[in-house]
Amino acid sequence: MKAAVIVFPGSNCDRDLAVAFERAGADVTMVWHKESDLPAGVDIVGVPGGFSYGDYLRCGAIAANSPICQAVVKHANAGGYAMGVCNGFQILTETGLLPGALRRNAGLKYICRTVGLEVATQDSAFTSGYAKGDVIDIPIAHHDGNYFADDETLARLKGDDRIAFTYTDNPNGSVDDIAGVLSANKRVLGMMPHPERAADAGHGGIDGTAMFSALMTQVVTA
């Protein structure tokens, strides 16, 4: 599996995400935001966490309009895989690849701790390594993770089984406890929690590793 991890000015989880992909056996290329093309043959794009462009205007808004994001949108629209974590999720909603938006946390505070996530569907390359209903421990670290989508969008997400993860104890006010969502073809995932920060015994938990190892088997055979 060939993975590309995008690096924006202000990204700070890019190397963690690259290491998680590498540990799973992927061949990883880091791609600077000014590039206008992804490396040839890339199977999956990782859009990392951080504070791209200083979170100016809105989290992810400037990054979503960067040259490389046009290439990411093209890749995804052609059926390619992509995952956005934290700021990466905000960026993917801003590009329109994923529905909804992330607002300021309901409690207004930046939250950095490990939370419980319930796996809401097994039916995606990202979540196939878990069983529906599994509860996994994954860290969050965000100020703007309060997921919003209108009722019509929520109904569509539920009806099409596109909610990937929900919080067991909603930390930020997200509608319907939503922590991560999938695109219509289930090849694009956005989630606020950081699976790449639970991918090594030294992290204090390894519940994120199943996502990366499942991607290795699912994406290669796709």
Which chain residues interact with other proteins by CB under 8 A?
A: 57-58, 61-62, 65, 93-94, 99-101, 103-108, 146, 148-150, 173
31/59 with CB nearer other proteins = 59
- Active-site annotation holder among 75, 94, 196, 203: 196
Q: Is 118 a catalytic residue?
A: no
Q: Tell me, yes or no, if 194 is annotated catalytic.
A: yes
Identify which of residues 17 and 149 has a Cβ nearer to other proteins in the complex.
Answer: 149
Q: Residue 196: which of 8, 9, 28 has the closest Cα?
A: 28
CB 153 to other proteins: min, Å = 9
Determine the Cα–Cα distance for residues 209 and 212; give it in Å rounded to an integer.
Answer: 5
Q: How far is the CB of 198 from other proteins (least distance, A)?
A: 28
Rounded distance between C-alpha atoms, residue 33 and residue 38, angstroms: 10
Q: Which is nearer to other proteins, 61 or 222 (CB)?
A: 61
Distance from the Cα of residue 41 to its chain's centroid:
21
**Structural Rg of the chain based on CA atoms:** 15
List CB contacts of 127: < 8 A, sequence separation 6 or more: 119, 121, 164, 165, 211, 214
Assess whether 142 carries a catalytic annotation.
Answer: no
Give residue 119's Cα distance to chain centre.
14
- Asked if residues 30 and 7 have their Cβ atoms less than 8 Å apart, the reply is yes
Q: Least distance (Å) from other proteins to the CB of residue 58?
A: 6
Q: Quick check: helix, strand or coil at residue 82? A: strand
Name which of 39 and 107 has its Cβ closer to other proteins: 107
Catalytic residue among 59, 86, 94, 203: 86
Nearer to other proteins, 63 or 85 (CB): 63
Q: Give 173: exposed, middle or buried? Use CB within 10 Å, 0-12, 13-18, 19+.
A: middle
One of 33, 142, 194, 203 is an active-site residue; which one? 194
DSSP state of 11: B
Least distance (Å) from other proteins to the CB of residue 88?
16
Positions marked active-site = 86, 194, 196
